[in-house]
Amino acid sequence: MKIAVLSRNPSLYSTRRLVEAIGNRGHEPVIIDHLKCDLVIEKEGPAVYFKGEKVNDVNAVIPRIGASVTFYGTAVVRQFEMMGVFSTTESQAIVRSRDKLRSMQLLSGAGLPMPKTAFTNFSKEEKNLIDQVGGAPVIIKLLEGTQGLGVVLAETRKAAQSVIEAFHGLKARIIVQEFIKEAKATDLRAFVVDGKIVGAIRRTGQAGEFRSNLHRGGKAELVKLNRREKSVALKAAAAMGLSVAGVDMLPSARGPLVLEVNSSPGLEGIETATGIDIADSIVDYIERNQPKRRGVKSKLKAS
């Protein structure tokens, strides 16, 4: 098989590991920069051109779409889907996962536990918004933030009001979220592939840092999830329609709370901490699904 990794940077750890895993399993890897693709839509059928040449011999794609290019990246994935090419992550699932508010609504609708969250349309009732999530301290997040950026811990009501007013003054969309004190700057990430958890880590933030993101200097260690944590992670990935996902959960007094479901989770932190070949699991997933998908045009799901 010829398997394409949709990535803008061949030197990234995740891209390199996926290319290596594809080759190790006897397939032909190719890296396609989705921002350098042209999409042609006509009666005869959809087509993708990369650097001026038509792409017509790819069996599967592994999307590594950054949050800043979600619109065009998912358009490219959708075009491949329309061509009958198997994708490890469906285009609409990526779109759902990138909208924090929509994600929380879907997770809530699936009955999954999560920190209490509030959203408003630039309301000036900041006090009510803070009260709706249990009062200060609160977490304030930009809807478009990633990797811990655009996330603020407001420890007092006055500070929270000031931050909310500042974001609203800039017309920035935010959510206000309950602060889970007992988590103590730690969270859990479960890596899900095709309905199975293939690895899990506990991430701990630096001293004095409430965010546990590895991009913010956090540390990761292998962890064994309990039955409840496994169940929540799998249900969260399923609720988002993601076959490959990183499910982030906060430990709390009332059990694991879903923070986010990532549609393009990085491999470096979890592979380094666990020693598990996550990239190989993703290629194995493609192999198990390819025979029944080859030559069959996928049916795009409604968003």
Q: What is the mean pLDDT, run by run of 10 residues, along the chain of 303 residues?
A: 96 97 98 97 91 94 94 97 96 93 94 92 74 90 68 89 86 88 89 97 73 61 95 98 97 94 94 96 94 42 38
Q: How far apart (Å, rounded) are the C-alpha atoms in residues 73 and 85?
A: 15
pLDDT at 296: 40
Fold observed for domain 2-90 = Rossmann fold (3.40.50)
CATH class as words, domain 182-276 = alpha beta
pTM of the model: 0.86
**pLDDT at position 211:** 57
Same fold, 2-90 and 182-276: no
Q: Residue 113 and residue 111: Cα distance in Å, rounded?
A: 7
* CA–CA distances in Å: residue 24 to residues 28, 102, 273: 9, 38, 22
What is each CA distance from 48 to 32, 33, 86, 301, in whole angstroms?
11, 12, 14, 20
Please report the pLDDT score of residue 79 as a whole number.
97
Q: What is the CATH number of domain 117-179?
A: 3.30.1490.20
Q: Domain boundaries in the chain? A: 2-90, 117-179, 182-276
